[in-house]
């Protein structure tokens, strides 16, 4: 189709050569890197994630490291989720907001020790943001991007594969918890996490020169369970109701609109960025909400990420922020970012190239 010109701005993943050897067919961009999205067999890759185990290059999930005596203080200023109970070895899903309460990223936070945290970020530049906040508030903390490259092992057989490599202790990890380890001298962190609801782990490689070796170690260990390459799966994540920051959000989305209200602790201190705005937004009731939309018809459509307008009784109620064919539901499904007054069960319409497609609003997740 077309090529991509190399430049110093397009940073290579440690697993890039490994994914080329696997026959990667397409990429998307994320944090100034390429994220492999498919290996030419989308349906097979989907069912492998649902029934087996899939190996993903998710090195685009960059780590923003906060290190120093004020690392914990900065982490708490950056997120309106109360971190006071978070201990070393624990991860938490957090929202980052600006001063207006607008969502600017939704990372996993990993507490490595009292003086060191990682924000495993979605697609926006939090390195700039954290450095600016640290400097403006006079904090003793160094903000950096360490040499860390996550690989995901996702699917119901993922635990078998990861336990066969690292040992049975991985079975005792709670969701989002992690532990430092190594395999054949390669330093890693093993966490129970990943952007699917099919179970699995993420292995954070801490030596970027070892990407090919780690990829092949996991690939070989996974052979008994028929492991194969894949990537964050569009259909599965929509079925499971996982949010894609930047895809399902726009420049004015607040966390309450996209089902992240449960990660906002309204009682955190006033120095937490955005908390005063979030209290006001919460008191006023959110203007928009995120629901699911199931379109009528049992053939895949080409509707993608165009934020198509959704209509109800002839007036616009919001947008369809994504749309994908679900192999399990055998319907086209997507996320609807719609007025707070809409309800599950309502019939709505979207227009594609002059043609009307009807559907029904439902609660998320779909499955």
> Least distance (Å) from ligand THG to the CB of residue 204?
7
Closest to ligand THG by CB, 254 or 308: 254
> Least distance (Å) from ligand THG to the CB of residue 278?
18
Which tokens is 88 given?
């070393």
CA distances (Å), 344 to each of 243, 256, 319, 362, in order?
19, 17, 15, 4
Which tokens is 321 given?
């922020």
Residue bearing tokens 């209509």 = 311
Phi, psi of 17 (to 5 degrees): -60, -40
> Least distance (Å) from ligand THG to the CB of residue 138?
29
> Least distance (Å) from ligand THG to the CB of residue 356?
32
> Least distance (Å) from ligand THG to the CB of residue 153?
12
Give the end-to-end CA distance of the chain in Å, rounded to a whole number: 35
> Least distance (Å) from ligand THG to the CB of residue 308?
23
Closest to ligand THG by CB, 26 or 90: 90
Closest to ligand THG by CB, 195 or 234: 195
Contacts of 34 (CB under 8 A, 6+ apart): 4, 10, 12, 13, 16, 27, 28, 60
Closest to ligand THG by CB, 129 or 139: 129
Closest to ligand THG by CB, 121 or 183: 121
Closest to ligand THG by CB, 152 or 281: 152
> Least distance (Å) from ligand THG to the CB of residue 108?
5
Residue bearing tokens 């003793």 = 140
Closest to ligand THG by CB, 129 or 357: 129
Closest to ligand THG by CB, 48 or 92: 92
Q: Is the dihedral of CA 87, 89, 90, 95 positive or negative?
A: positive
| Residues of the shown chain interacting with ligand THG in the complex, contacts defined by CB under 6 A | 61, 93, 106-108, 120-122, 150, 193-195, 202, 242-243
**Residue 69 CB-density burial (10 A; 0-12 exposed, 13-18 middle, 19+ buried):** exposed
Q: What are the residues facing 356 on neighbouring strands?
A: 351
Q: How far apart are CA 264 and CA 106, in angstroms?
A: 12
CA distances (Å), 121 to each of 58, 133, 145, 184, in order?
11, 17, 11, 28
Nearest to 120 by CA among 106, 132, 136, 141: 106
User: Strand 308-312 and strand 288-295: pairing?
Assistant: unpaired
> Least distance (Å) from ligand THG to the CB of residue 299?
29
């Amino acid at each position: 189709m077309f090529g991509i010109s190399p430049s110093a701005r397009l940073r290579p993943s440690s697993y890039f050569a490994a994914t080329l050897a696997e026959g990667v067919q397409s990429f998307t961009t994320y944090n100034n890197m390429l994220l492999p999205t498919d290996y030419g067999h989308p349906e097979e890759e989907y069912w492998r994630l649902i029934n087996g185990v899939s190996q993903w290059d998710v090195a685009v999930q960059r780590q923003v490291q906060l290190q120093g005596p004020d690392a914990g203080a900065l982490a708490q200023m950056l997120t309106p989720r109360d971190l006071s109970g978070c201990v070393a070895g624990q991860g938490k899903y957090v929202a980052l907001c600006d001063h207006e309460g607008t969502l600017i990223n939704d990372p996993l936070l990993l507490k490595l020790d009292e003086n060191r945290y990682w924000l495993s970020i979605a697609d926006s530049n939090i390195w700039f943001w954290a450095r600016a906040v640290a400097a403006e508030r006079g904090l003793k903390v160094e903000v950096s991007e360490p040499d860390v490259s996550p690989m995901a092992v996702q699917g119901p057989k993922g635990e078998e594969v990861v336990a066969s490599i690292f040992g049975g202790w991985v079975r005792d990890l709670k969701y989002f918890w992690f532990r430092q380890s190594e395999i054949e001298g390669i330093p890693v962190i093993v966490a129970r996490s990943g952007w699917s609801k099919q179970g699995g782990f993420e292995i954070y490689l801490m030596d970027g020169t070892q990407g090919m070796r780690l990829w092949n170690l996991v690939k070989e260990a996974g052979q008994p369970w028929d492991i194969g390459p894949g990537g964050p799966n569009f259909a599965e994540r929509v079925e499971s109701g996982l949010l894609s920051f930047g895809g399902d959000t726009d420049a004015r989305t607040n966390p309450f609109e996209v089902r992240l209200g449960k990660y906002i602790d309204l009682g955190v201190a006033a120095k937490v960025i955005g908390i005063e705005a979030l209290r006001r937004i919460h008191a006023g009731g959110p203007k928009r909400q995120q629901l699911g939309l199931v379109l009528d018809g049992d053939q895949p459509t080409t509707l993608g990420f165009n934020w198509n307008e959704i209509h109800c009784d002839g007036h616009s109620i919001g947008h369809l922020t994504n749309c994908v064919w679900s192999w399990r539901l055998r319907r086209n499904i997507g996320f609807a970012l719609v007025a707070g007054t809409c309800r599950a069960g309502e019939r709505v319409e979207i227009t594609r190239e002059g043609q009307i497609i009807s559907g029904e609003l439902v609660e998320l997740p779909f499955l």
